[in-house]
Amino acid sequence: MTYREHRLRKAERLHGWAEKRGAKAATVHQERERYHGDIAFWTQPGRIPERDRVHARGRRAWEHDGKARDMNRRAAGIEAGAERAIYSDDPDACEQLQGQRCCRWQEGATVGCRLRRRPRRPAFLR
């Protein structure tokens, strides 16, 4: 297995974990909907254990949502990096590196030529 394949498998695993976390959060948010219009439940004075449990589940659901977003962001970063990276175990790594060096040399030569050119005088001063 090449390093690129290893990285892409990790991205797939992260997407899978994020999907599971998102599903958990969605079920908890759906369970909280039954208390949505219950004003007495939310405004009744005193400590109510069920309300504490609902708050704790909601807090965990928001944490699951945040972690799912973070995992999706990390997986997208891994996929984007794998597209533009040159790994040492790639079959054409040498050719890619040589092409990259050649392009950099050409860019540097172009800039160098521009800097070495004699500045031209404006037309009205000729």
Query: Per the domain annotation, does 99 fall within a domain?
Result: no
Give the C-alpha separation, 103 to 22, whole Å.
Answer: 44
Mean pLDDT by 10 residues, the chain (126 residues): 87 97 95 87 88 93 97 96 75 68 60 65 68
Query: Per the domain annotation, does 16 fall within a domain?
Result: yes
- Residue-range definition of the domain harbouring residue 35: 3-91
Q: What pLDDT does residue 27 have?
A: 95
Rounded to an integer, what is the distance from CA 75 to the centroid of its chain? 6
Read off the amino acid at residue 71: M
Q: Is the dihedral angle over the CA atoms 103, 105, 108, 114 positive or is it negative?
A: negative
Q: Is 101 exposed, middle or buried (0-12, 13-18, 19+ CB in 10 A)?
A: exposed
Query: Per the domain annotation, does 106 fall within a domain?
Result: no
Q: List the structure tokens of 45.
A: 């004075």
Percent of residues in the chain assigned helix, strand, coil, to nearest 5: 80, 0, 20
CA 12 to each of CA 16, 19, 87: distance values in angstroms, whole numbers, following the listed order: 6, 11, 19
Q: What pLDDT does residue 95 have?
A: 72
Number of domains in the chain: 1
Angle between helices 49-84 and 3-32 (to 10 degrees): 160
Query: Per the domain annotation, does 109 fall within a domain?
Result: no
Nearest 10 degrees: CA dihedral of 104, 110, 113, 118? -150
